[in-house]
Amino acid sequence: MSSVQFAAARANPAAGIFSTVLEKRRCLFNAKSVPTAMHSDLVQRGRGPLASLMRSNGLYCVFQPIVSLRDGSIYSHEALIRGRPDSALHAPDRLLDAAAKEGLSEEFENHCLMVELGQWSALHESRRLFVNISAKVLEQVYERCGRELLLAYIRDLGILPSMLVLEITEHERVSDMDYLAEIVQDIRETGVSLALDDFGDGRSSLRLWSQLKPEIVKIDKYFTKDISKHAEKVKTIQALQQIAEIFDTTLVAEGIETEDDLRVLRDLGIAYGQGYFLGRPALLPRESVEPQALMVIQDRRVAVYPELRRVSHVGQKQRVSVVEAPCATLHTTNDELASILLARTDLHAIAVVDGSRPVGIINRTDFMNAYSKSYYRELWGRKPCASHINPEPRVIERNHPVEELLSILTSTDQRYLIDGFIVTENGRYVGLGTGDQLVRSVMETRIEAARHANPLTFLPGNIPISQHIERLLASGAEFIACYADLNNFKPFNDQYGYWRGDEMIRLVAKLALAHCNPQRDFVGHVGGDDFVILYQSTDWQLQCEQIISEFAQQAIELFDAPAREAGGIHAEDRHGVARFFPLTTLSIGAVNIHRDEYTSAEQVASVAARAKHDAKIHGEGLVVRDNTNFNEGGVF
Ligand code: C2E
Ligand code: MG
Ligand code: MG
């Protein structure tokens, strides 16, 4: 034993637990047992079930792999403690609870570490190992043993410090973060790395991440479970990735249980994963990941993120443009108001405020009409302008939700178009807005929103379509780009009106979605009657044919009986000439996109549009093109 170790042991008798291990190292860890001599007085004398389990060496550990999501290799294992399988104290949660009840938390966690490191050492493993330790016990162990003793202990087991990762659990119990950060920094200098466990479970703290700067953060399983179905979980993981980048932290996604979740996490670029789908905890560490998981990791097909399947813009915020304008108060006289309006001929109205809060609006024309009447100035010039105030102005927060604007535009009260509206920031007056600005703002929002999601079908619009194609191209996936378009839709629309036209477009959306695997295939709505489907499913051809035939069957229902009988409608063509148009059908042009064939979404859009063009000209339902490069550009 080194002098440092002796000193530490003398200074604090509790350090003896580690010194004893060092002395008896050879005999210790060939078995999974921790010898009686090492048990503290508390454990020796304890009457509870955990104390007796510890005395009888009833604890062992299992190892669960942590896997590289890039290539499927095993990055590390996590040691997880277990009590005897037949005992009530089998699961770690039960063991930890019992430890707290019996006042043995520190002893128990120490004991776990010894069992786990001992087992790892006995397996002659030289790979990386993650072990759990609560922040509180880490502090206690450090205080009692010091860094050197811990280091000697680890080394003595044949474990390189650089191969050990301490997973800090129970962050909520950290009382002094500065102190913990100091300890962690000191331990880290030995080469041991640090991970924050279960990040985001509600008890973890961003401050701890920022202050401890762990090499690794393990994202709690809440965020990975069903991530393939929840857009908000994707967003949360993306936000955590941004933080990880700031702090230069590697992320591990915990609790991966399904193929779909694994695919999304891999595509998001999460470095490592852990979970039953990759490998369950087992007595022996694994040499390779579960074969099913390896197939997913190596598969080039990309996941369709849940956010892109159907997008809504409810809650989106928009900034409204503001005319900076002086305002009146309840005490402003009519003369003063008139001189403001004469100086600012561009103003359509004046806001009236009480303090900084708007209480009314005065319309310029109404006021000036009254003010210019004979004797008005003499009689009312020095009186307050109160009688001209409209006390119910329309007030809009500068950063308002889009729905608020829409509700104003569609309300029966159209006064705001003349009076305009008052703009506030956090309830304080900042300026005026005009009716035409409002209309423009709504239009811009609508156009921008439609580029993300089509307002009729709520399917992703041009921007997400392009983004998804870029992802497919970047991954080297082989896929089929389909462009679908209706034949004879215009005469139908002209004859029956937009309402039924919309129905028909929604029918295409419904059928396209029904014939796609939501995890593999992507349906986008370019606009009007144009749709894009990006298939990775191998049965795409059958699915396309079914879309076409089901559309033909169901679209008939949208025509009136005479048209159904006649097999079409009489209507004017684009040149105003009366013609017979057959019933509306669907054409799909499909192109096989091979690896490295195209470099941009625009090129893919262009070839798919050409295939659709061919399909329409041939009047066939489905036209498939293969490996035809077109040079002209084109966007959806
Ligand atoms: P943890 O450190 O977050 O460990 C991961 C837990 O998730 C393990 O449960 C593991 O079996 C489980 N798990 C792994 N993959 C999946 C999955 O795909 N789905 C689901 N639902 N669960 C999965 P376990 O072994 O019951 O451990 C529970 C907790 O007990 C651990 O959470 C850790 O906080 C604590 N613990 C375990 N061993 C020790 C130890 O030796 N010392 C200390 N201090 N705490 C430990
Ligand atoms: Mg853990
Ligand atoms: Mg965990």
Higher local confidence (pLDDT), 323 or 276: 276
Taking the centre of ligand 3 as the mean of its atom positions, its distance from the CA of residue 471, in whole angstroms, is: 30
Query: pLDDT at position 21, please?
Result: 45
CA 201 to chain centre: 16
Domain boundary among 421, 446, 471: 446
User: How do strand 317-319 and strand 328-329 relate by DSSP bridges?
Assistant: unpaired
**Of 420, 567, 581, 570, nearest in space to 486 by CA:** 581
Q: Are residues 463 and 426 in the same domain?
A: no
Higher local confidence (pLDDT), 77 or 635: 77
Query: pLDDT at position 406, please?
Result: 67
Query: pLDDT at position 556, please?
Result: 95
Which structure tokens are listed for 543?
A: 């699915």
Is 157 a domain residue? yes
Is 169 a domain residue? yes
16 lines ligand 1 (CB under 6 A): no
Q: Are residues 441 and 460 in the same domain?
A: no
- Note down the domain range covering 609: 456-625
Query: pLDDT at position 8, please?
Result: 34
Instruction: Give yes or no for a contact between 161 and 155, defined as CB atoms under 8 angstroms apart.
Output: yes
**Of 487, 520, 524, 523, nearest in space to 612 by CA:** 487
Higher local confidence (pLDDT), 176 or 216: 216
Nearest CA to ligand 1 atom 11: 281
Q: Are residues 531 and 465 in the same domain?
A: yes
Residues 163 and 571: their CA atoms lie apart, in Å, by 77
Q: Are residues 393 and 505 in the same domain?
A: no
CATH code, domain carrying 381: 3.10.580.10
Is 115 a domain residue? yes
CA 549 to chain centre: 37
Higher local confidence (pLDDT), 315 or 209: 209
Q: Are residues 284 and 363 in the same domain?
A: no
| DSSP H or E segment with residue 578 | strand 578-582
107 lines ligand 1 (CB under 6 A): no
Residues 622 and 86: their CA atoms lie apart, in Å, by 62
134 lines ligand 1 (CB under 6 A): yes
Nearest CA to ligand 1 atom 15: 275
- Total domains present in the chain: 3
Query: pLDDT at position 26, please?
Result: 33
**Of 427, 440, 418, nearest in space to 321 by CA:** 440
CA angle centred on 342, ends 340 and 345, rounded to 5°: 105
CATH code, domain carrying 466: 3.30.70.270
Domain boundary among 229, 263, 298: 298
Taking the centre of ligand 3 as the mean of its atom positions, its distance from the CA of residue 429, in whole angstroms, is: 49
Which structure tokens are listed for 347?
A: 């103003």
CATH code, domain carrying 294: 3.20.20.450
Instruction: Give yes or no for a contact between 508 and 461, defined as CB atoms under 8 angstroms apart.
Output: no
169 lines ligand 1 (CB under 6 A): yes
- Per-residue pLDDT band for 3 (boundaries 50, 70, 90) equals very low
Residues 426 and 400: their CA atoms lie apart, in Å, by 11
221 lines ligand 1 (CB under 6 A): yes
Q: Are residues 338 and 441 in the same domain?
A: yes
Based on DSSP, count helices (H) and strands (E) in the chain, helices before strands. Answer: 27, 23
Is 632 a domain residue? no
- C-alpha torsion sign, points 431, 435, 440, 441: positive
- The mean per-residue pLDDT over the stretch 352-370 comes to 93
Taking the centre of ligand 1 as the mean of its atom positions, its distance from the CA of residue 478, in whole angstroms, is: 38
Instruction: Give yes or no for a contact between 305 and 451, defined as CB atoms under 8 angstroms apart.
Output: no
Higher local confidence (pLDDT), 311 or 438: 438
Query: pLDDT at position 158, please?
Result: 85
Q: Are residues 479 and 582 in the same domain?
A: yes
Query: pLDDT at position 403, please?
Result: 63
- pLDDT exceeds cutoff 90 at 636: no
- pLDDT exceeds cutoff 90 at 585: yes
Query: pLDDT at position 9, please?
Result: 33
Is 420 a domain residue? yes
DSSP-based helix, strand, coil % in the chain, nearest 5: 45, 20, 30
Please write the tens of the pLDDT for every residue from 404-453: 676 676 666 667 667 788 999 989 999 998 877 777 777 777 777 777 78
For residue 61, give the ligand 1 atom closest to its CA.
41
Q: Are residues 508 and 391 in the same domain?
A: no
Instruction: Give yes or no for a contact between 484 and 609, defined as CB atoms under 8 angstroms apart.
Output: no
Instruction: Name the most confidently modeled range: 16-20, 40-44, 205-209.
Output: 205-209
Phi, psi of 572 (to 5 degrees): -85, 140
Query: pLDDT at position 15, please?
Result: 42
Taking the centre of ligand 2 as the mean of its atom positions, its distance from the CA of residue 131, in whole angstroms, is: 7
Query: pLDDT at position 276, please?
Result: 98
109 lines ligand 1 (CB under 6 A): yes
Lowest mean pLDDT among 127-131, 182-186, 277-281, 404-408: 404-408
In Å, how far are 55, 400, 419, 428 from 405, measured between CA atoms? 70, 8, 16, 19
Is 68 a domain residue? yes
- The mean per-residue pLDDT over the stretch 159-173 comes to 87
Is 633 a domain residue? no
**Of 469, 391, 399, 466, nearest in space to 433 by CA:** 399
Domain boundary among 391, 412, 446: 446
For residue 169, give the ligand 1 atom closest to its CA.
34
Query: pLDDT at position 420, please?
Result: 81
Residue type, position 234, single letter: V
Which structure tokens are listed for 511?
A: 């059928």
- Per-residue pLDDT band for 203 (boundaries 50, 70, 90) equals low
261 lines ligand 1 (CB under 6 A): no
- pLDDT exceeds cutoff 50 at 13: no
Q: Are residues 418 and 549 in the same domain?
A: no
Query: pLDDT at position 171, please?
Result: 67
Q: Are residues 211 and 163 in the same domain?
A: yes
Instruction: Give yes or no for a contact between 508 and 586, defined as CB atoms under 8 angstroms apart.
Output: yes
Residues 318 and 46: their CA atoms lie apart, in Å, by 64
- pLDDT exceeds cutoff 50 at 344: yes
Q: Which ligand is nearest to the CA of 281?
A: 1
Is 42 a domain residue? yes
Could you list which residues have their CB under 5 Å from ion ligand 3? Answer: 197-198, 254
Residues 285 and 117: their CA atoms lie apart, in Å, by 13
- The mean per-residue pLDDT over the stretch 517-540 comes to 94
Which structure tokens are listed for 495?
A: 């004859």
Which of 61, 104, 132 gets mutated to test ligand 1 (max ligand atoms within 8 A of its CB)? 132
- 165 forms beta bridges with 130, 193
Please write the tens of the pLDDT for every residue from 28-66: 333 344 555 566 777 778 789 999 999 888 999 999 999
Taking the centre of ligand 1 as the mean of its atom positions, its distance from the CA of residue 79, in whole angstroms, is: 9
- Ordered strands of the 395-397 beta sheet: 395-397, 421-425, 428-433
- Per-residue pLDDT band for 11 (boundaries 50, 70, 90) equals very low
Nearest CA to ligand 1 atom 42: 132
133 lines ligand 1 (CB under 6 A): yes
Instruction: Give yes or no for a contact between 132 and 95, defined as CB atoms under 8 angstroms apart.
Output: no
Q: Are residues 290 and 325 in the same domain?
A: no
Taking the centre of ligand 3 as the mean of its atom positions, its distance from the CA of residue 493, in whole angstroms, is: 57
Q: Are residues 236 and 347 in the same domain?
A: no
Percent pLDDT > 90 in the chain is 60
Q: Please, what is the average pLDDT of the chain?
A: 86
Query: pLDDT at position 50, please?
Result: 93
**Of 432, 430, 426, 422, nearest in space to 347 by CA:** 432
Higher local confidence (pLDDT), 20 or 474: 474
For residue 134, give the ligand 1 atom closest to its CA.
44
Taking the centre of ligand 1 as the mean of its atom positions, its distance from the CA of residue 80, in whole angstroms, is: 6
